[in-house]
């Protein structure tokens, strides 16, 4: 595997995991805020 391809692949994995964390944490934070302000 070439270094540039590997770098691109690792960046894609990092981006996907970051987006996944964001998608998981956003509804959770919203839920916490709703429960807190109720």
The predicted pLDDT at position 3 comes to 87
1-38 pLDDT, tens digit per residue, is 588 898 999 999 999 999 999 999 988 889 999 988 87
What pLDDT is recorded for position 11? 93
The token duo for 11 is 């960046």
- Helix (H, G, I), strand (E, B), or coil: what is residue 2? coil
Q: For position 1, what pLDDT does the model report?
A: 58
Determine the Cα–Cα distance for residues 8 and 35; give it in Å rounded to an integer: 41
CA distance between the termini of the chain: 54
């Amino acid at each position: 595997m070439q270094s540039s391809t590997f770098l691109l692949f690792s960046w894609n994995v990092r981006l996907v995991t970051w987006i996944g964390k964001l998608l998981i944490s956003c509804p959770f934070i919203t839920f916490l805020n709703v429960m807190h302000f109720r």
